[in-house]
Structure 1
Amino acid sequence: MSTKTNTVVKPKTYTQEDAFEASVKYFKGDDLAARVWINKYALKDSEGNLYELTPNDMHRRIAKEIARIETRYPNPLSEETIFDLIKDFKYIVPQGSPMAGIGNPYQIASLSNCFVIGNDGDSDSYGGIMKIDQEQVQLMKRRGGVGHDLSHIRPKGSAVKNSALTSTGVVPFMERYSNSTREVAQDGRRGALMLSVSINHPDSEDFIDAKLEQGKVTGANVSVRIDDAFMEAVKANETYTQKYPIFSENPKFTKTIEANKIWKKIVHNAWKSAEPGILFWDTIINESVPDCYADLGYKTVSTNPCGEIPLCPYDSCRLLAMNLFSYVENPFTDKATFNFELFKKHIHVAQRIMDDIIDLELEKIDNIIAKIDADPESAEVKSIERNLWLNIQKKAEEGRRTGIGITAEGDMLAALGIKYGSEAGNAFSVEVHKTLGIEAYRASVYTAKDRGPFAIFDAEREKNNPFIQRLKEADDKLYYEMLEHGRRNIALLTIAPTGTTSLMTQTSSGIEPVFMPVYKRRRKVNPNDKNVRVDFVDEVGDSWEEYVVFHHRFKQWMEVNGYEVSDNYDQKELDEMVKKSPYYQATSNDVDWLSKVSMQGAVQKWVDHSISVTINLPNDATEELVGKLYLEAWEAGCKGVTVYRDGSRSGVLISNEEKTEQENQEVLTAFPTKRPQVLEADVVRFQNNKEKWIAFIGLIEGKPYEVFTGLADDEDGILMPRWVENGVIIKSKNEDGSTRYDFQYQNKRGYKTTIEGLSHKFNPEYWNYAKLISSTLRHGMPIEKIVDLINSLQLDSESINTWKNGVVRALKRYVEDGTQAKGQTCSNCDSSNLIYQEGCLTCKDCGSSKCG
């Protein structure tokens, strides 16, 4: 008699080194793309075990799961058909959460990239406000970005029936929600939050100013919902009446303001710090197809953190991008054409895949609810989280919203020989997006024939919607088929930012132009290795090689046009080459801003959600230009707009030029006078004369505020594991009343670990100098000036001089790229034309570089 035993076959695992080597080969030598894929998207468990070797393993995982869903419906797509379209990131690219989460058994998370939450009824009560806070955190821990609107909160000074007697207004709750975001990590990344408020709200001016006070509201993007009446008042230089509740016919509170006064504040703050963004709310609502069902729970209230998906409360969206470059045949030649027929065919498949992903999302939500039910907490404790996911489940099942978009717009145009931002470029982009909009809707109608329409579809409700009217005018056959069969999805289209996605497609990002076709990077090398080239040696003896990096599609242009791809070009040769390419004067810093706004408005007419796009301006752009761009964006039909002026960041004006006395005063008073109890912090490790050193840099809005530096004790691990790159520094009190600074980070199991007393972990000889340097940081002295100050210190102790070098190396990482190094000369050519680039002093005349 024999017995059989069931053997459990464990899935194969790979080391980080194996996956990196295989993925670099997959990406044809692109180590950045390989690292991004391994860190963010490769299948791994909580112990760090890797189950995928290259992105093809991921694509096979995704194709298998989508094919499984397809078998539920008539005429299913095969796994091979799906795999062939998504492999190599060539045609169809599920973005972010779908890429990481589809077929992932090791992570209980949503496939939605973004959510909006909100309350019905008496939502400005403390109970309602705390409920939103908890819902926000619960979504962020499942990897979602979150948006919500604050227009329901009573304005400052309003009467309330509690011990406070009057309301504190919107701003304190901005800080609460912002702090909650900073506390949550999602698979190694911080949460993402959008806070919005209506310009009609009496506290909107305080909301607009809130982010300028550094150290506050650091965990959120902020946007103002602006209505047409306000814009008309701005144009006519008239007054505007704010109300609470907003737009109420019987408001409890009204306030008349000068529209231009608050408009100038919005423009000034955006010019100075890139925020607030603007949401043209009447355009969003009037154009919104889901808002035809507002009375059924689909009233749009806010957007996701990047602004490309306006949503109703508890709705969410999954994203997918189509790689436009791949539809260009014979790219970079005079025979280049865009294959519209193949594009249309793939749009239909992409929309079906998006609908399949909704079914996969519903399965994920079932798993999340099951996990909540199995948790040991009481039903009372779990009720908010459970109800949150039940609400999200209902919206996903009922509306089946999708977010199909694009990437590689800039490369597509260049491959066709069309200049981005030109009249021809804008016209061709509109044709592409019109095709995408019409065919995605057609695909949704065809899917409804097989699978049924979304649950509340009602053609009568939608008949006067401007977007639906444009579809009817462009293709009446599609419109009448939609009347007959309905549509599978309530809304379908978006243009999202595709940062990491574009790294893996190796193309320009989203709808944006190429950032730079060619640039230089540096890598540390071992001078004793064979065939290594040492371009410079830094002040502590490290050797560095400088090499040219070509944008992937620029490199393809070079190959097509007979140029050798090598590091042997000097800067003049590179400049001449770029001039001959279709990327010349078509980068993000070259494109005419008004042309870009015009393009966004024209494309927006074929995108039923919204577009995430940033208008990049040079440092010397005026506030008047920002105001003109905002006004032009409204008139062009944009749903939102964000500007970024080069060097503007979080209320601190960074400039390579000499500042006026007033501007210097702005910089010196930018940080809060009182040190916040908790600061975000970076951990910087480096080698100093063969010794291992570590620095803890306390940050406010990404800028150094304090520094703790000393020898790293790697042997017994007193400090922390080497994988820790960031955390928080907490100011605490000892029992004797003295102050101490603790560092806290989140370990791989999700628990917080605290290293107590940073000020006592290092040699006390360093401490007084550290306090001096932190003091200069806190008073806003430019980092490059602090670096000069530290370098000028004449110190007798060898250990202090070594420490001094370490502090300099740590702080140089935070010098704004392009900042002039005054009073220093190049050791190679004696030029004084030195700037900081990636923490290194670089000579703009001869190109030599010295790293700190």
Structure 2
Amino acid sequence: MERKIRARELWRELVQSARDWAEPGLIFWDTVKRGSPSEYNGMEVVTTNPCSEQPLQAYGACDLGSINLSAFVVDEFTEGARVDWEGLERAVRYSVRFLDDVLDYNMGRHPLKEQEEASRTSRRIGLGVTGLADMLAKLRIKYDSEEALDFVDEFFNRFKCVAYDASIELAKEKGAFPLFDAEKHLSMPFIRTLPSELREKIARFGLRNVAVLTVPPVGSGSVLVGTSSGIEPIFAFSYTRRSESLSKEYFKVYHPLVGEYIKRFGLKDESALPDYFVEAHRINPEFRVKMQGTIQKHIDSAISSTVNLPSDITVEEVEKIYMLAWKSGCKGITVYREGSREGVLITEEAKSSEKTEQSQSGDAGVGSPRKNWVRPRVLSGQTIKFRLPQGSIYITVNGDEEGIKEVFVNLGKSGSDEKSYSEAIGRLISRYLQHGGDVRDVIKSLKGIHGKTSTWDQGVQLLSVPDAIAKALELISGQEVPVPRTTGEQPQASPAEKGDAAASRTKAFSDDVVGVSVCPSCGEETLVYENGCYTCKTCAYTKCE
């Protein structure tokens, strides 16, 4: 099925979504293809990995590894700070060999024969880096400076040449990748940027790998080794991390290098750091794009990088960033606006701003959108069980001194429609109450909603799942909320009448088939209640009370 839409409308929607939710990122496919050294003999790239730093041929696979650049600085933080090129070059050569060996190790272990063939014939690897921002700080170079741009241009040019020379030397030792064609390979635009002596060696000995360099985000890897991520600037000097598994839900953490510097030089806190330490959200977004574009010139695959943006960035500014990335030769770009993804990493500045806004809102009243509730580790609550045609529904209500804050609704089997929509209702109610909502409004909104079948349980009439949730909230909160009667609706029975009718209705409910509902197992509308059990006439699902 095909449908034509206006390109500018799609572009506008894409940019708006990136600004609001940090998705999607962009891939400039023409630039990817133009810069790929594998555009011949069936190795043409047709896709990328999820983070887009590795363009891949059909059935291609990632074989990536990154070098921690911050480990290769001599006399760090001094006037004489410099790159340990001897050690770094040795690490680059070892890394290229290691990644090439990984390809051999995996032979015979691929799920599909086509994957193994793609790996064997192209021998694509991706040597990358992490800790660039930490390296710059140790060298006393400010990340967002022209000095930094000049440095990374020279640095990655040399890094590229060492890596390519290592692949040439492996080709001399073990042979070039099977689909290598000297004339075609040397005609690729990226290869033509290599120094003439390297191109002459490629013509003579070939290359072991069709592509050699990639810059992934190195998120988990950078946390493991305690450095800045990939080529990204330091996200923040300190931040608040959320973890459900530790004794505190929120705790302050220093970036490792910042913490090391503070301890080494006896600083009180991060406010006394020298100006060559700079946080991501203080860097001009356009400079971030320039940095990525400068490095991309020396990377034959691609770069995964995210531009950090302030919370008040406009859609028009995001559009300019995307356009600049394309013009700068970037192969892809992603943006992250402060606060667009809740609760993963929160900078101290953003957290402070949020607290200020909350205090300024003061008595803004119930339901103020500025009010944020932080869950304590322990909350007390109550659970009510009702019996419905779909099965037993369990409604758990937790709260604090301010009132109800959490509602959990459990109905049906895992993966069933009943389970999903009942859980969704509970989540939405919880979010509303945690942001200052009134439980009486929730009860009023849900109470009286009719489903296909109404039932009675211990004197309580249950018209539907939403109605059952409302009545559970009434029982626990003690807030009985009348529901206006619509035209033609039968008047509600008094509590006494309900009590008198309960026994006879319950007996009728037990003795006879009462209505037909959706089966939580097979999804068919063939679930009936008879002889004290719910039974599906389609799949034989049975649940007895």
Bin of the TM-score, shorter chain as denominator length: 0.5 to 0.7
Give the aligned CA root-mean-square deviation in angstroms: 4.2
1:265 is matched with 13
| 1:321 maps to 2:66 | yes
Q: 1:709 to 1:308 in 2, by over 3 A?
A: farther
State which of 287, 310, 316 in structure 2 corresponds to 1:595.
287
- How far apart are residue 424 of structure 1 and its match? 1.0
2:42 is matched with 297
State which of 495, 498, 504 in structure 1 corresponds to 2:224.
504
- How far apart are residue 279 of structure 1 and its match? 1.4
Asked if the contact 2:306/2:333 (under 8 Å) is kept, the reply is yes
Q: Deviations over 1:117-152 (max 9, x none)?
A: xxxxxxxxxxxxxxxxxxxxxxxxxxxxxxxxxxxx
Give the TM-score taking structure 2 as reference length: 0.66
Asked if the contact 1:521/1:548 (under 8 Å) is kept, the reply is yes
Residue identity opposite 2:42 in structure 1: G
| 1:554 maps to 2:258 | yes
SS in 1 for 2:293: helix
The number of residues matched between the two structures is: 408
* Whole-Å separation in 2 of the counterparts to 1:410 and 1:788: 49
- How far apart are residue 503 of structure 1 and its match? 1.1
- How far apart are residue 482 of structure 1 and its match? 0.8
SS in 1 for 2:436: helix
2:515 is matched with none
* Whole-Å separation in 1 of the counterparts to 2:207 and 2:233: 33
* Whole-Å separation in 2 of the counterparts to 1:612 and 1:480: 31
1:422 is matched with 145
- How far apart are residue 708 of structure 1 and its match? 5.7
Asked if the contact 1:742/1:758 (under 8 Å) is kept, the reply is no
- How far apart are residue 512 of structure 1 and its match? 0.6
Q: 1:756 to 1:313 in 2, by over 3 A?
A: same
State which of 337, 348, 355 in structure 1 corresponds to 2:82.
337
State which of 340, 345, 350 in structure 2 corresponds to 1:648.
340
SS in 1 for 2:129: strand
Q: 1:647 to 1:404 in 2, by over 3 A?
A: same
- How far apart are residue 774 of structure 1 and its match? 5.0
Q: Deviations over 1:531-559 (max 9, x none)?
A: xxxxxxxxxxx996986532211122123
Q: 1:452 to 1:623 in 2, by over 3 A?
A: same
| 1:743 maps to 2:447 | no
Matches within 5 A, 1:794-809: 800=476
Residue identity opposite 2:338 in structure 1: D
* Whole-Å separation in 2 of the counterparts to 1:649 and 1:730: 25
Q: Deviations over 1:469-523 (max 9, x none)?
A: 111xxx2111101100000001111110111101111111111111122245699
| 1:310 maps to 2:55 | yes
Which structure has more relative contact order (CA 8 Å, sep 6+)? It is 2
Matches within 5 A, 1:91-490: 154-156=1-3, 202=4, 205=5, 257=6, 259-291=7-39, 293=40, 296-365=41-110, 368=111, 389-471=112-194, 475-490=195-210
Q: 1:322 to 1:615 in 2, by over 3 A?
A: same
Residue identity opposite 1:339 in structure 2: D
Q: Which runs of 5+ in 1 are unaligned?
A: 1-153, 157-201, 206-256, 369-388, 526-541, 564-572, 659-667, 669-683, 694-706, 712-728, 732-739, 745-753, 760-766, 803-852
Q: 1:625 to 1:284 in 2, by over 3 A?
A: same
Aligned identity (percent) is 33
State which of 214, 225, 240 in structure 2 corresponds to 1:494.
214
* Whole-Å separation in 2 of the counterparts to 1:333 and 1:622: 40
Residue identity opposite 1:785 in structure 2: G
- How far apart are residue 629 of structure 1 and its match? 0.8
* Whole-Å separation in 2 of the counterparts to 1:543 and 1:445: 53
Q: 1:543 to 1:431 in 2, by over 3 A?
A: closer
Q: 1:798 to 1:421 in 2, by over 3 A?
A: same
- How far apart are residue 710 of structure 1 and its match? 6.3
* Whole-Å separation in 2 of the counterparts to 1:791 and 1:543: 33
Q: 1:781 to 1:507 in 2, by over 3 A?
A: same
SS in 2 for 1:320: strand
Residue identity opposite 2:212 in structure 1: L
* Whole-Å separation in 1 of the counterparts to 2:160 and 2:225: 22
2:524 is matched with none
- How far apart are residue 757 of structure 1 and its match? 6.8
Q: Deviations over 1:582-635 (max 9, x none)?
A: 32xx21111111111011111101111100001111111111111111111111
* Whole-Å separation in 1 of the counterparts to 2:424 and 2:96: 58
Asked if the contact 1:773/1:786 (under 8 Å) is kept, the reply is no
Residue identity opposite 2:109 in structure 1: K
Larger radius of gyration: 2
* Whole-Å separation in 2 of the counterparts to 1:560 and 1:743: 53
* Whole-Å separation in 1 of the counterparts to 2:83 and 2:396: 56
SS in 2 for 1:311: strand
State which of 566, 573, 576 in structure 1 corresponds to 2:271.
576
Asked if the contact 1:271/1:623 (under 8 Å) is kept, the reply is yes
